[in-house]
Amino acid sequence: MLKSCSDLCELIEEVGFLPFFRNPVSGFSIEDCTPPELWFSDEADGPWEWKGPVIRDLHCAYGKFYRGKAMYISERFFGDFCNFRRDGYDYDARMDDGLARHADIPIMRELWQSPSVVSRELKTRVCFTKERKRTFDGSLTRLQMLGYINIADFEYALDRCGRPYGWGLARYTTPEAFFGENFLKEAYNTDPTDSYKKLESYLQRLLPDAGVSQIENILKI
């Protein structure tokens, strides 16, 4: 069971993929591994408070990668994951081929100009119309699911004593900005289908009781 931030870092590093919430694969989530008293606690930090420190300390990918819900992915697997999810396209090529959603493009352009942007500020920059405001959250989720953006950290408001409180605001970035421009070069030299087979084979070994459809649900959109 997870009792500290370091426990969570060790587990992510060991398994490579770790969803935040319970899902059809029994035992395969942070929620499954967290003592109930730490899931929501006023006395002690738990997985909700550990998110930022885990991302910073482990330098792993975090975002809505699993059916629109949060999942950690270690750096050693994230290149192949992005290559498969992007189907080999960088975002410029996706736009050139007419595959990019119109509502998503302003978010990517902002993240190209800034290494990272807090969600509230990002929304202010790109949401000039009611329609943009309506589609903003969906665009963020879609871009994470496609492997084009991830969360670099969480930032909290501070009380008068300098203590953080409330729900943290996500700081969004791109894998290229977070891991380095060369991070995906090796993966991009691999056929996306081969990246999928590599990850599929790994998850089948990691989760021997999971069915084929459950593995597909982890890896496919």
97: three-class secondary structure by DSSP:
coil
- Residues 210, 75, 12, 205: is their CA dihedral positive or negative? positive
pLDDT for 183: 86
| 212 vs 6: CA distance, rounded Å | 32
Using CA atoms, how far residue 118 sits from 113, 156, 175, 220, in Å, is 14, 11, 16, 27
Give 34's pLDDT tier (boundaries 50, 70, 90): very high
- Report residue 168's pLDDT band, with 50, 70 and 90 as the boundaries: confident
What average pLDDT does range 67-90 have in this prediction? Answer: 96
Angle, helix 119-126 to helix 105-113, in steps of 10 degrees:
120
Mean pLDDT of the chain: 94
What are the pLDDT digits (tens) for 106-146?
Answer: 999 999 999 999 999 999 999 988 888 999 999 999 999 99
Q: Where are the domains of the chain?
A: 5-219
Quote the pLDDT of residue 162: 72
One-letter amino acid identity for 147? G
| pLDDT value for 41 | 79
Residue 165's pLDDT band (cuts 50, 70, 90): low
